[in-house]
Amino acid sequence: MDRVVHASAPGKVNIALRVGASRPDGFHPLDTVFEALDVRDDVVVQLAPDLAMSISGIGEDLPVDDSNLVIRAARLLRDRFGHCTSLDIVPADLGAHLAVTKRIPVAGGMAGGSADAAATLVALNELWQLSLKPEQLHECAAELGSDVPFSLMGGIAHGIGRGEQLTQLPSSETHGWVMLLNQQGLSTPAVFREFDKLGLGRATPDTTDDVRAVISGPTRGSEHRGLLGRAVGNDLEEPARSLRPDVAHIIDTIRAHIAAGVLGAHAVLLSGSGPTIAVLAEPSRLDSLAARLEQLFPGLTAVVATGPARGTYLVR
Ligand code: C5P
């Protein structure tokens, strides 16, 4: 059988990210608002004797062994739900080749690895004919990583816990983003360790109310995006600045340009745990803003994105 199944998953930006003090399990309680972006990774799967993967696009030098979240997602799905297959294959023998096309920056705070895991779950559920419900896919996603459930869901969502307990927020407005990519990545655990070292945890991190009020509120168009720009914020910016003065300098420069009204953007913030920097702007101005930012910071690459984008779906 050579059936091919194709799934597409979005990257994300955290419009707001509030972080509490470290829990006994080492994770940090989050209160966050995610927005899915139309920068997407694809996973194309076919039945094969074993589990194996390949990567094209960006990230071709990433490992393709058991350390890759794609293989871990496939194993978890097979071990947990392989018995649900309606194929005439013993569950332990379910295999696949997984071809990943990456466009979401690697180690950039845009959840590219999580998107690949989400696409893997959706594609293999179809290929292996497991007929799993969304809750069952969510259960696997939450085990694989804090951002994987949101990659499945997409749109705009409020996340608590580790970020995996999600509530979709109604959203009719389009947001434009220029994502400024840095060649040198930044490790998420290292940023959280620095957060602890600096003693930054909020007693109650549940303070994304202002952003949620704008998202679900009555304003439209540029007025809406202007209000949102004043409400955004990311508690991981301080530890990321401490680890990466170069990133701090870029954010400060953009912030000063925005305050002076010379950039035509609404806000700048760190994306997730960085080092990608997200600039919120009018959707019609993204290309000129991207060109201007690349001119100001010659070492950086600007990627244009809009949100909210659809969650993970099968490409028919
Ligand atoms: O869940 P995920 O694999 O994305 O997390 C990567 C790392 O980020 C964790 O191992 C942990 O060090 C840190 N983290 C955290 N608190 C969270 C989410 C992630 O400390 N809520």
Q: Are residues 122 and 180 in the same domain?
A: no
Can you tell me the distance from the alpha carbon of 314 to that of 119, in angstroms, rounded to the nearest whole number? Answer: 8
> Which residues does ligand 1 sit against, CB inside 6 Å?
27-28, 30, 145-147, 162-163, 188-189, 192
Tally of domains within the chain = 2
Question: What is the whole-number distance in angstroms between the Cα of residue 30 and the centre of ligand 1?
Answer: 10
Instruction: Tell me what pLDDT residue 196 has.
Output: 96
Alpha carbons within 13 angstroms on the beta-carbon side of residue 142 total 14
156 occurs within a structural domain: yes
Specify the residue with its C-alpha closest to ligand 1, atom 10.
189
Question: What is the whole-number distance in angstroms between the Cα of residue 237 and the centre of ligand 1?
Answer: 16
Specify the residue with its C-alpha closest to ligand 1, atom 2.
145
Picking from 82, 100, 115, the residue whose alpha carbon sits closest to that of residue 272 is 115
Q: Are residues 222 and 285 in the same domain?
A: yes
312 occurs within a structural domain: no
Q: If DSSP states are collapsed to H, E and C, what string results for 200-229?
A: CCECCCCCCHHHHHHHHCCCCHHHHHHHHH
Q: Are residues 66 and 157 in the same domain?
A: yes
Atom of ligand 1 minimally distant from the CA of 146: 1
Q: Are residues 64 and 162 in the same domain?
A: yes
315 occurs within a structural domain: no
Which residue among 137, 169, 201 closes a domain? 169
Q: Are residues 165 and 179 in the same domain?
A: no
Which residue among 120, 141, 169 closes a domain? 169
Atom of ligand 1 minimally distant from the CA of 273: 8
How confident is the prediction along the chain (316 residues), in pLDDT tens digits per residue?
579 999 999 999 999 999 999 999 999 999 999 999 999 999 999 999 999 999 999 988 999 999 999 999 999 999 999 999 999 999 999 999 999 999 998 878 899 999 999 999 999 999 999 999 999 999 999 999 999 999 999 999 999 999 999 999 998 899 999 999 998 989 999 999 999 999 998 888 888 999 999 999 999 999 999 999 999 999 999 999 999 999 999 999 999 999 999 998 999 999 999 999 999 999 999 999 999 999 999 999 999 999 999 999 999 9
Which residue among 136, 169, 202 closes a domain? 169
Q: What is the DSSP letter of 13?
A: E
Phi and psi for 119 in degrees, rounded to 5?
-65, -35
Asked whether the beta carbons of 128 and 7 are under 8 A apart, the reply is: no
Can you tell me the distance from the alpha carbon of 33 to that of 250, in angstroms, rounded to the nearest whole number? Answer: 24
The best mutation among 12, 28, 202 to test binding of ligand 1, ranked by most ligand atoms within 8 Å of the C-beta, falls on 28
Q: Which residues constitute the domain of residue 197?
A: 175-307
The best mutation among 18, 162, 273 to test binding of ligand 1, ranked by most ligand atoms within 8 Å of the C-beta, falls on 162
Atom of ligand 1 minimally distant from the CA of 29: 21
Question: What is the whole-number distance in angstroms between the Cα of residue 146 and the centre of ligand 1?
Answer: 7
Q: Are residues 101 and 10 in the same domain?
A: yes
Q: Are residues 220 and 163 in the same domain?
A: no
- Active-site positions read 12, 147
Please tell me the pTM assigned to this model. 0.96
Q: Are residues 179 and 38 in the same domain?
A: no
314 occurs within a structural domain: no
313 occurs within a structural domain: no
316 occurs within a structural domain: no
Q: Are residues 130 and 191 in the same domain?
A: no
Give the residue ranges of the annotated binding site for ATP: 105-115
237 occurs within a structural domain: yes
Longest pairwise C-alpha distance within the chain: 66
Instruction: Tell me what pLDDT residue 106 has.
Output: 85
**SS3 call for 308:** coil
CATH number at residue 242: 3.30.70.890
Question: What is the whole-number distance in angstroms between the Cα of residue 64 and the centre of ligand 1?
Answer: 21
Q: Are residues 57 and 114 in the same domain?
A: yes
CATH number at residue 101: 3.30.230.10
